[in-house]
Amino acid sequence: MSRLSDILVIGGGAIGGAIAWSLVKRGLTVTLVEAGRIGRGASWAAAGVLAPDWSGHDPSALTVMAEAGLAAWPDWVAELEDRTGLGLSFRRDGLLNVWVDPDAPHLPHDLATEPLPPAAGQRLSAAEARELEPALTGPILGGALAPADAQVDNPRLAPALIRAAADQGLRVLLDTPVTALLGSGGVCRGVRTASGTEIAAGAVVLAAGAWSGPLAASSGIHLPIEPWRGQMLAFDTPARPFRHIVFCGELVLIPRPHGPLLVGTTLEHVGFDSRVTLAGLHQILARVERIVPGLGDLPLARTWAGLRPGTPDNLPYLGSIPGWDGLYVAAGHGRKGIILAPITGELMARLILDHDLDPMLEPCLPQRVID
Ligand SMILES: Cc1cc2nc3c(=O)[nH]c(=O)nc-3n(C[C@H](O)[C@H](O)[C@H](O)COP(=O)(O)OP(=O)(O)OC[C@H]3O[C@@H](n4cnc5c(N)ncnc54)[C@H](O)[C@@H]3O)c2cc1C
């Protein structure tokens, strides 16, 4: 077993990519090991919305971190685009959150009547919401506008991160599933891959999204991360039907600048099954028809689904694994992994390199589930 790197990162999604890029920028030698291709997990399937808290239901620690993530995005993506020449279409379109029925089970219960959390933006009447988005002809009751919320072409994110990091020395192993974390005497010494090869490293970062739980379990570490399936579809539209990203409960409509209208999403607990179902599409379309009757008549461009890495308390696991020196985890970002990618990369690099535990990481430390 030869020691190749200071740090080995498991997983080539937005989170593994962001951490790898942060580490190589600080001069470390890093190897990233990916089971398949780069960025084909949740980071590809996502809606690409950068909104700190559109539901009003997130834990405050998550919203604080997501606000820091959104603040970091403009400079971070500018540097990424500059270094790679890849366009990621970061745009501050703003997010319009509308509600239709206070009794609807998916409605954030307090958004319609109580003071809005700051991240939700400024309250609007139904008429004001319709003035902003005339296509909303359904029976909406009101809305809230968060003008600083943004969108990004998320399928390009992980490939851009890996390209930028590789230009600065990252070594990438594709089609290489990690099957075990190697440890002795309470110290993590590397990983074993499906071919039986052992790769040594000074430290290991587990960033395998929804798959992090089973991988940790195979080495006796209990890390409750559950796949939450989300289905999406895209309509071909002759013109951009909305100026803003529009949310209504679980429904999200994202007008891509030059492309289709993306529509999502479901939240399903069906294990590691990332197939699209008619029931899922039906659920999305029924919600669309409530606020934009007739939108479902547009030609369907494509459908897809992905697996969010969900945790029981809706907070990611970020930090070192108790009892395993040199083993870190950055997984469980749920519905927020795209907005959280820059801040996760930065805070994890500072933790690993400088042992600097930012206060934002404290609620996310994995010891809350590991004795
Ligand atoms: C439909 C949908 C909509 C979403 N919308 C948004 C949104 O609008 N905004 C937002 O911020 N977030 C959104 N999310 C959530 C976001 O996509 C995730 O939180 C984020 O992508 C997680 O990134 P990740 O790198 O941890 O996981 P992933 O992107 O899933 O990457 C994990 C990687 O690890 C690899 N891997 C797995 N097992 C192994 C192994 N044993 N060895 C080596 N590699 C392995 C996988 O192949 C994969 O490439 C959405 C998710 C979905 C599914």
Query: Which pLDDT value is given to residue 129?
Result: 94
Q: Which residue has the higher pLDDT, 62 or 117?
A: 62
Query: Which pLDDT value is given to residue 78?
Result: 98
- Domains 3-77+155-225+312-368 and 95-147+227-310 belong to one CATH topology: no
In the chain, % of residues over pLDDT 90: 84
Residue having the nearest C-alpha atom to atom 27 of ligand 1: 209
Q: Which strand ranges, in their side-by-side order, compose the sheet holding 95-99?
A: 122-125, 142-146, 95-99, 245-248, 251-255, 261-264, 226-235, 300-310
Residue 106 CA to ligand 1 centre (angstroms): 24
For the stretch 87-100, pLDDT in tens is 999 999 999 999 88
Mean pLDDT, residues 188-200 taken together: 96
> Which of 70, 154, 253 has most ligand 1 atoms within 8 Å of CB, for mutation?
154
Predicted confidence band at 111 (pLDDT cuts at 50, 70, 90)? low
- CA atoms of 8 and 315, how far apart (whole Å): 24
Mean pLDDT, residues 288-317 taken together: 96
b/e per residue 75-93 (b: at least 16 CB within 10 A): ebbeebbebbebebbbbeb
Mean pLDDT, residues 340-363 taken together: 97
For residue 155, count other CB atoms closer than 10 A to its CB.
Answer: 16
CATH topology for 95-147+227-310 is: D-Amino Acid Oxidase; Chain A, domain 2 (3.30.9)
Statement: residue 165 has pLDDT above 60 = yes
- CA atoms of 20 and 31, how far apart (whole Å): 8
Mean pLDDT, residues 203-231 taken together: 97
> Which of 44, 267, 335, 336 has most ligand 1 atoms within 8 Å of CB, for mutation?
335
Contact residues of ligand 1, CB 6 A cut-off: 10-16, 33-36, 40-43, 45-49, 177-178, 207-211, 215, 230, 232, 264-265, 306, 308-309, 331, 333-339
Predicted confidence band at 121 (pLDDT cuts at 50, 70, 90)? confident
The top-level CATH class assigned to 3-77+155-225+312-368 is alpha beta
Query: Which pLDDT value is given to residue 206?
Result: 98
Each domain of the chain, given as residue ranges in start order, spans 3-77+155-225+312-368, 95-147+227-310
DSSP output for 44-68? HHS--EE-S-SSS-S-HHHHHHHHH
Query: Which pLDDT value is given to residue 105?
Result: 47
Helix axes 60-84, 157-167, angle to 10 degrees: 60
For residue 267, count other CB atoms closer than 10 A to its CB.
Answer: 15
Statement: residue 323 has pLDDT above 80 = yes
- CA atoms of 350 and 182, how far apart (whole Å): 24
Query: Which pLDDT value is given to residue 107?
Result: 47
Number of helices followed by number of strands (H, E) in the chain: 8, 18
